[in-house]
Structure 1
Amino acid sequence: MDRALIKSIAEVTKREPNFWSQPLEYDRRGASHRLFQYPAMMLPVVQRKLIELIKTAAPATHSLLDPFMGSGTALVAGMLNGLDCYGQDINPLSILLAKVKVEALDHPAYKIAAAALQVRVKLDNCLTAAVEFPKLSKWFEPVVVQELSKLVRAIRQEDNQTTRRLFWVTLAETIRLTSNDRTSTFKLHARPLDEIATRETSPLTTFQQLLKQNIKDIALYATQLTEQGTLQQHTYSGKVCIRVVDSSLEIERPVAASATQPGFDLLVSSPPYGDNRTTVPYGQHAFLPLQWIDFDDIDPAVSRASLRTTHEIDNQSLGGKQSTVTTQDEIRFSTLSPTFKANLLALRQSKPLETKKVVGFVRDLNAVLERCAKALKTNGYMVWTIGNRKVGGVEVQNNLILQELLRHHQVILLQTIERSIKNKRMARRNKTSATMMKEEILIFRKH
């Protein structure tokens, strides 16, 4: 299996040397990847190809896990390969977006629902804001609040929850484009006042355009699933499970009656490998859209406590709980990973106050890796996309640290694919992004 997989990867690279960085045949319309501009998405066509190659080399591959699900890219790639797909994340917006991608496939019904929604919006003469939260007027102009409120009230009147979820995701992207937040960075940064004063934007028009585009994209995705024979009556024939959970605390293994052992056949994921508060702040990016979305339509397990501050979601992510880092954590992971030890020693000499964020990240990452390794079947494959980063002027070699940690869980590296990150959207003034223009795709197998 290993030889066949390595050979097939080499053949793809030979045919198209730049495939892993910028494939020639990449259409963002496929599999609904344009629904929302989610931070640091994995390249969908690359993940789909990798899963295809692994499934060919290991035909017994039937299930996939992504413990850092994000926008659901790996799940969709798994569905396009006919797999049962399981995803986890702590970000409520991630949960909503992924659910829409895997469930909202009845595109004929959405056209009818969209027309009905537009009628409700036109009949709404209410000028009251549909939501209230601190600094509402900072982030949204009065006319934008009025139009978004009309949309919120109209969405709430839709009877079908899956359709409402599609509308909420469309509203989330509308909010991203029409709020006073800058779209040039994932962090919450208000536009200059003079720019806000002269800016003309209409949430109603934007929403209508986006929804029309989204329904077309869903129709294309449904066609792709139909062609491979996995769409029946607008529903994916395989299993799909999406959970709101911290993967460092829990990963539930699937149990199939015909399986010789419980667990997943394949893991495909990318950990949030930067400090979320300064590099890729997933939580900040979700903060404004989530203020307008009914949490009851996301998942019973999500809580509005995640919006207590703009950093709340990011603080709950890998390395976010820096106050709980101990000296014992430093000692333990210095023993487990020589690379971590060397990076930490260099950081302690340059910026000692920054050590906790690195220790916290590695500690939390290892907790996830340990659970993932236990949840993976023997001879199951792992595909991790990860990049290195700079902290206090020191390059933290996440790629090597990941390999060293996984060895302790009997998971061995088979292949490394280097890729450049094309069109990465990061603030230029953010120095931590300097070493994040390249990633490695690391392929492992559990022994």
Structure 2
Amino acid sequence: MNSLETDGRTLVDHSWDFEKADTKYSNHGFHSYPATMIPQVARRLIEEYGNGSKTLLDPFMGSGTAVLEAKLNPNFEKAYGIDINPLALLVGKVKTTSIDYELLKTTFMDVLNESNNELQQINFMMKNKAPRDVDFFNINYWFKPNVISELAILKNNIDKIENGDKRIERDLKDFFNVVLSEIVRKCSNTRNGEYKLYRLSEEQLKKFNPKPILEFENKGKKNIERMKTFNKECSGCEVDILSEDSRFRTSIMDDSVDLLITSPPYGDSQTTVAYGQFSRLSLQWLGYDKKDVTNIDKMSLGGKKLPQKNMLDSLTLQDIIHKISEKDEKRAKTVLDFYMDFYKCVEEFDRVMKTGSKLCFVVGNRTVKGFKIPTDRILIDLFKQKDDQYRHLETIIRRIPSKRLPKKNSPTNIKGEVGSMMNDEYIVILEKR
């Protein structure tokens, strides 16, 4: 099935599909995120490959699925989650931070009651908008005036949350900012279910009448109940959420990690998953610096267009780059940039992983210029470049029943042309010897 000569086998295993599984149990349902690893996959990887493991690393944390599973597992002492996206860092932190249930309920009612009172006053005075501190380019393009007013009210009341313990105060604000972030996207003029920013049509906008405070109430109640369940189930595992870049030396100690579980970026924000676009409106409402918000996709793997020669020892990669370059040299360079950046991460993983540790990568093989890129095989090649320290144990192929990914993309980057997207995922298991 796999032309690459590897140590391990490659097999299709539908028991990994989890087609009808609840993927939002515990705090996993806090916030949507593009191309998320489902918790069942992370949990099973921990169970099957993490025997005796005490420390877990997810170097491309996203919404924090793997680190949350480590927190729900009684055997882990430490879990690291790394990401460059401020929204991922916020969601990952909130998902894995226990907060007292009664305190959450009391704070929630304070924010909600104050927000509803302010909204009533605005309606009574027949004003179209509330005073707001949030303003950014195109805010009126992406949000209706009444939506801006309600979101501003909610944000101001979250900012007013107080607690004698400043750490708890920060945790409370972060918790409700995650709720607000989800509401921002739901109540924006963007098409539902998209991972990029596309505006609703004028006809759709006429029928679109979201009520942010009501949505905040509904989502807040659900997340508080999830936290109640999480508080009962979570372990003593210490979770460190790191705003760092896995291409460079991180703050994690040498030879300290037992198990790596991650789903790396897909490698092309132009045609596949634009994490920055997905996060932009939320981060702007939450007050993040404009430069941090707009540069996420540029800062991702392969995002910076730097002159660099292919130094990677992968015949599979060389072959696919050659094929793509015959059609489009620029796109071939973009693909190569991604894998060159990924190899920098491989070197950092090698530094922090213990001998005998397992590394589990959940990857998709995307299509560029009509060519399917075998990332699963290229990944094995890149690790084998490390003086044969790594052994390929196996690659499991699973169907993607409901991952937040499009079924079609624009592999040629020409408007109107679409190609099939990733319907399968490849779970590549490696061992450091």
Q: TM-score, normalised by structure 1?
A: 0.85
In structure 2, the residue corresponding to 1:306 is in which secondary structure? helix
> Contact 1:21–1:422 (CA<8 Å) still a contact in 2?
yes
Instruction: State the partner residue of 1:78.
Output: 70
Instruction: State the partner residue of 2:338.
Output: 361
**Deviation for aligned residue 1:415:** 1.4
Counterparts of 1:166-177 in structure 2, within 5 Å, are 166-177=175-186
**Deviation for aligned residue 1:429:** 5.2
Counterparts of 1:268-287 in structure 2, within 5 Å, are 268-287=261-280
**Deviation for aligned residue 1:104:** 3.8
| 41 and 427 in structure 1: CA distance in 2 versus 1, 3 angstrom threshold | closer
CA distance in structure 1 between the partners assigned to 2:391 and 2:72 by the alignment: 27
| 189 and 383 in structure 1: CA distance in 2 versus 1, 3 angstrom threshold | same
**Deviation for aligned residue 1:428:** 5.3
CA distance in structure 2 between the partners assigned to 1:113 and 1:209 by the alignment: 15
Counterparts of 1:46-445 in structure 2, within 5 Å, are 46-56=41-51, 59=52, 61-82=53-74, 83=76, 84-124=78-118, 125=121, 127-159=130-162, 160-225=169-234, 230=235, 237-254=236-253, 262-295=255-288, 303-307=289-293, 309=294, 312-322=295-305, 324-326=306-308, 328=309, 330=310, 332-333=311-312, 336-409=313-386, 410-427=389-406, 430-432=409-411, 434-445=420-431
More helix per residue: 1 or 2?
1
**Deviation for aligned residue 1:437:** 1.1
Q: TM-score, normalised by structure 2?
A: 0.88
In structure 1, the residue corresponding to 2:398 is in which secondary structure? strand
State the identity %.
32
Instruction: State the partner residue of 1:3.
Output: none
CA distance in structure 2 between the partners assigned to 1:75 and 1:426 by the alignment: 22
Q: Deviations over 1:215-271 (max 9, x none)?
A: 11111222222xxxx2xxxxxx2221111111101223247xxxxxx4111111111
CA distance in structure 2 between the partners assigned to 1:55 and 1:81 by the alignment: 11
How many residues align structurally? Answer: 400
| 85 and 187 in structure 1: CA distance in 2 versus 1, 3 angstrom threshold | same
Gaps of 5+ in 1: 1-5, 231-236, 256-261, 296-302
Instruction: State the partner residue of 1:233.
Output: none
Instruction: State the partner residue of 1:258.
Output: none
> Contact 1:66–1:75 (CA<8 Å) still a contact in 2?
yes
Question: 1:46 is matched by which residue type in structure 2?
Answer: V
> Contact 2:258–2:354 (CA<8 Å) still a contact in 1?
yes
**Deviation for aligned residue 1:52:** 1.7
* Farther off after superposition, 98-107 or 312-321: 98-107
CA distance in structure 1 between the partners assigned to 2:337 and 2:301 by the alignment: 7
Question: 1:407 is matched by which residue type in structure 2?
Answer: K
In structure 2, the residue corresponding to 1:384 is in which secondary structure? strand
The runs of at least 4 aligned residues of structure 1 exceeding 6 Å deviation read: none
In angstroms, what is the RMSD of aligned CA positions?
A: 2.1
CA distance in structure 2 between the partners assigned to 1:19 and 1:221 by the alignment: 26
CA distance in structure 2 between the partners assigned to 1:148 and 1:318 by the alignment: 33
Say which structure, 1 or 2, has more relative contact order (CA 8 Å, 6+ apart): 2
CA distance in structure 1 between the partners assigned to 2:62 and 2:341 by the alignment: 17
